[in-house]
Structure 1
Amino acid sequence: MEQISSDRFLPPWSSKYPWLIAQSIQDDEKQDQFVFCTIDNELPHYRCRIPELLGKRIRGFFHGWVILSNYPHNNIWCLWNHMTSKIISLPTLVLEDGESYESIRQCCLSAPPDDPSSILLLTTTSKSTFLFCPVDSKREDFRWTEMSYAQQLKRLTSNGKLLHSLTCCNGKVYALSIDGTFAHCVIHLDIVVKYNEVVINLMLFSTCPSDPYCCGGDIHYLKGSSTELFYIEIGFDEETNNMEKKPVNVYLYKSDMTCINWEERECFKDWDVSHIDIRIPVCDDPEDSSSEDSNTESSLHYSSGHQDMIREIEEKYDSKKLDMSCEVWKVMDDLKDAIFFIDVARDSVSYSPVVASKLQGFIHIRGEMGKTIYSYNVKDNTISLSSIPSPILPTSHVSMWECRLEDDHGEAKCIVDYKEEMGNNNQIFLRSGTDNGVEFKNSHLLNIPFDLLEMIMELCVGVEYMNFRATCKQCLLAAPLIKWSNETSLRRLQTHSPVSPWLMVVDRKRGITTFTDPMSGDNYFLKNSKVLLNENDRICYSRFGWLLFWKRDLNCLVFFNPFTNDLRKLPETEHDLESLCFSAPPTSPDCMVVGFTTTRVYFHSANQKRTWRALRLDTDPHTICFSAFYGGDLFVFCEREVIVINNLGKKDCSGEVVEAEAPKGYCKSRTQYFITNCDQHRLLVSVGEYGEAVEVFDRNESKQIWEKIDSVGKHTIYICGTACFCIEAKAPKMENKIFFPRLHTKNKRVLFYSLDTCRYHTFHAQNLQEEHLEDFLGTTHHLSHNVWIEPSWS
């Protein structure tokens, strides 16, 4: 049955699936209905009316108990044990006049209800106070109490105002402070319950282990489970244009509470930074760093989470100089059989330590609009898009069911993860995207002389070599095991002419660079390339088989050919350039490199010993999206207009606005634009927010307008985050298609949009897949640096 109804009992779910519970909080007719389902839309879902939950909203799960409050008033709170049907009702919460009950966002049960020290703790978003009530109704002081923590938090963080993300771990309560001058902090709430009073003292547990230069729009969460405390930070795309923010970075850390030296951390009880005033000089205008007043008092401001500040505070205050974050937090590269579920709009996080399903190993993030789930694979550093399960409304309050299920008689069996053995350093390894392995069998099909077979094997490379070697024992002997070093593999690959550029992904976590052939689906692995895997390096552009990227340790831009290991440094730049591109391979005398700031274009002739030159754009400040060379001219697409820079690099170069706004298509959502050349044409490709609309426009120079076209003929367009280019297809099956740096979530093959079918497809056995996608839902993309690259050995 797809649905069942229950008047009293919960359905007998299977513990191997992470179950979501959704409650409509706006539709009066469905307010008392709860929907239980999984993230997988293909599995059954259940609708239940639970008498104990009538008129109540689920606020959290602690120690096997469900925390409930009445909706929408939030002034009546209770605890419910679904296994015993026991309910613990708390006194009515009365706030001072003018305070809103809607400001109550976080709750935490400090200990199981049978513990005499157990209290229900609430925080608000309006002021620095705790609201708490003892759970034991036999106590004389069985009432709500409000306590300010403002002074304590200020002492620890200089000027922090609010605590959030309350969680319980190993018998202790923790919270986050991220709005103070001091670094983002994890605060330990030391709760002591005496007979007639409750005392809550704040103690600095550690600084947050995340990047000190994280964006202000990032979201942070704490979550405790048994003896493990997790810290999650999610970075979102800042350029949203009032649309849903998309996660672009996810960081996960874990602290094992059984390994904490609490005696050593006692020194943080008296930690006080409220008297320390540290300010970091920051230039207000990054393009005007040479101005006389760039270091004046007016340009100073506090830099939250700045590591220099942390070190200075430690040196001034703590003689032991303890590392307040690294000693307790460890980076998690694999969640294995556990999952998280985060509801961004409702500011809640849930955790399940053991599930035996294909959903394990993910941090599932429900978008703020409530319609999309972004599933982050911790091990692969990828994000998959899927729609919220069909029975759940976008306005529903959703969390993951964390209480014990009926068949939880033991931990669910873990599915053994497939581990890739990558071998020695600086070698290329290959894995077939179509075959999972072939058994060695004796065969008489290859009834040819052994020396001729060896000659054939000399012409094989990569996956072909591996498949040939696995055919039979004779082929195995004729094809010895080869360590595919750069020299060996590149020498053989040069004899082949790839039909398509490859999708290149740089995974710094595992120290691997992957090249994916979109035609065959084969993957080529390059391990431990010291050039590409350094921290803080970023790929800026790719074309003609060369990468242009910023190399932090050299403090400059460099050209790099990953197929020949040729590296060429460019002169240092005064500013941080964005939206870079180049006109030709750096081996060509005509190679021109271009980068932008909001008001200027900087250019450099790669084969001339000159510094960067600048041209001021005679327009308002712009955020440059993409640019493309056309002869000696440069076409630049901004958020609102197209700028043409004529005769770039010459004395008479100039820039002018040729189009006041982007062409209007039928896409109603946020649209991203990419500009490129196609023979004698300038093309503009528009892609909807979730890929629901893809349109191509051709520039009509005589009419000075963009005209929509339905075909690019024998050409193929390749799009990624930093580059867009159009080349003539080398095979008929590649024509009139647009390739994206995305994989089909099920078959793990590269996704492309066909201008013939107006659908998304993948290649399978050299043909189109029968199934197709309407948009990006059901696809996966890499968070690691990725780019399309044309193999080049010159």
Structure 2
Amino acid sequence: MASHSIVTHDTNRERKRKRKTSQRSWSDLPEDILRLVVQRLYLVDRFHLRQVCKNWLLTPIHDIASIDKLPWVLNYCFSPHRTICSLSDPYRKLPYIIEEERGWDDERGWIPAGSLLFRATAYASRYGWVLFSEKIRQVVHSTLYHVRQYYVYNPLTKDIISLPRLELPQNDYHDEHFATFSSNPTSPDCLFVVPTLCNRGIYFFISTYAVGDKTWKTHKFICRYPYYFSFSTHDMAYMEGSFYCYNREKELSSFHIATQEWRLLSNEPPLSDEWKFTRYFVAYGGHLHLAYLTKLEGDAAPGCNIFRYDWLDGTWKKMESLEGGALFLGKPSFGFTGGEQTKMVANRVYYFSSHTSRPSFLVYGSAGMEEKSDKSVCSQTSQNKIYYDSWPEKSKSLGESGSRMWMEPPSSMP
């Protein structure tokens, strides 16, 4: 009996110890354990995690590199007093909806995104930020100026950074058709670039703004073909210290940031009948690419041709496959080389179609023959493939029309 009593006493003490341990708050999880959890979460789920409690918000665990690699679809609608954004990523089955309905607050200096971006146009996205531009008319000493106001907006944090106004005389300049930036706008090495064409087509300008500068710097260049030279929406891309442009005259040129040199690289187009296609200019993996989609008719998938610029001989060469990579065409466009993060979208080209609220895709090259007989693969709602949700029904019921674009996710939670 004595030995039995000792065993009972030890058992009761063990039960009390386990009960005490089980009552420990989740908010007190050790940082190393919490980091292991965060490493396995996608960005939107990390955003939810940090809102659970104050400890999880303040613990320095949100600098962990994200596993989100593929671009998101950003659906957005701005009005003077309202902002609605829907972020859809390929890894989750539900959109993350962001709403702002607050008004002006002069005491805190807070301005809702919808008030600033109501008439703005989106141009580029990097590291979770989206670059918007709004045209403003301004008269100074009886001279009408072409003025552009630029903003970078982060839908996740709702932060807005306003850039200095870009002012050019209205009588001498056209409206710009493109704007982009090089890196995270909160970093000191970020550079913004805007090409602007003279309305006589004799010369054009490259305007740049570096974080920390007070004004824009504008560089003037002579057009090779006066009256015909022009930019279009999908014609410019940034890669490794240079901005590259493929203009409507089928010239490939580069603007090197450090030397501020504009250089012609090639004037031999890959296709002679470009007018039959919608063209996209994409830089990724150390290469420049031109993707051509035939004009969309009905629900039929478009034809597709993809060319890569050969740096050695200065010519465009057709790609027979994407070599396991993927393309996301739109405004802006993204591309990814083959790898673990693109396995689920290997050899695919995604594009926006007016016939469906979700992005459509086609399989490029010889890989397409392997998937033609598998109807589930080509289904836009296939559960084992990439999935982008549509513009939320909640916004449609409000009678608000939205816009959509590809958005690069941030590398870590802000």
Q: Distance in 1 between matches of 2:404 and 2:88?
A: 14
Counterpart mapping for 1:519-668 below 5 A: 519-528=91-100, 530-532=112-114, 534-551=117-134, 556-575=149-168, 576-599=175-198, 600-609=204-213, 610-619=215-224, 620=226, 621-625=229-233, 626-648=235-257, 650=259, 653-656=261-264, 658-664=266-272
Write the letter of the residue equivalent to 1:672.
T
Q: 1:399-426: CA deviations, max 9, x gaps?
A: xxxxxxxxxxxxxxxxxxxxxxxxxxxx
Q: Distance in 2 between matches of 1:515 and 1:638?
A: 32
Higher relative contact order (CA 8 A, sep 6+): 2
Shift, 1:719, TM fit: 2.0
Q: Distance in 2 between matches of 1:672 and 1:704?
A: 23
2:7 aligned residue? none
Shift, 1:742, TM fit: 4.9
1:790 to 398, 402, 409: 409
* Structure 2: runs of 5 or more not aligned: 1-20, 102-111, 137-146, 169-174, 199-203, 373-377, 388-400
2:86 aligned residue? 514
Write the letter of the residue equivalent to 1:612.
K
Shift, 1:507, TM fit: 1.9
RMSD: 4.2
Shift, 1:689, TM fit: 1.3
TM-score where L is the length of structure 1: 0.34
Counterpart contact for 2:310–2:316, Cα < 8 Å: yes
Q: Distance in 2 between matches of 1:662 and 1:522?
A: 40
TM-score where L is the length of structure 2: 0.62
Cα 1:590/1:751, change in 2 over 3 Å: same
Q: Distance in 2 between matches of 1:577 and 1:546?
A: 20
SS at match of 1:733: helix
Shift, 1:519, TM fit: 3.5
Q: Distance in 1 between matches of 2:134 and 2:53?
A: 27
**Identical aligned residues as a percent:** 16
* Structure 1: runs of 5 or more not aligned: 1-448, 466-478, 770-781
Relative to its length, the structure with more helix (as a share) is 2
2:291 aligned residue? 685
Counterpart contact for 1:677–1:683, Cα < 8 Å: yes
SS at match of 2:368: coil
Q: Distance in 2 between matches of 1:686 and 1:633?
A: 23
Cα 1:462/1:593, change in 2 over 3 Å: closer
Shift, 1:463, TM fit: 12
Counterpart mapping for 1:125-274 below 5 A: none
1:725 to 328, 334, 338: 334
Counterpart contact for 1:698–1:706, Cα < 8 Å: yes
Shift, 1:540, TM fit: 1.7
1:48 aligned residue? none
Larger radius of gyration: 1
Write the letter of the residue equivalent to 1:784.
S
1:697 to 307, 319, 340: 307
Counterpart contact for 1:716–1:738, Cα < 8 Å: yes
Cα 1:791/1:680, change in 2 over 3 Å: closer
Aligned length: 313
Cα 1:522/1:642, change in 2 over 3 Å: farther
Shift, 1:563, TM fit: 2.8
Cα 1:451/1:587, change in 2 over 3 Å: same
2:139 aligned residue? none
Counterpart contact for 2:345–2:386, Cα < 8 Å: no
Shift, 1:703, TM fit: 3.1
1:208 aligned residue? none
Q: Distance in 1 between matches of 2:328 and 2:160?
A: 24
Cα 1:765/1:614, change in 2 over 3 Å: same
Q: Distance in 2 between matches of 1:500 and 1:675?
A: 18
Write the letter of the residue equivalent to 2:289.
L
1:311 aligned residue? none
1:762 aligned residue? 380
Cα 1:639/1:452, change in 2 over 3 Å: farther
Cα 1:573/1:662, change in 2 over 3 Å: farther
Shift, 1:450, TM fit: 7.0
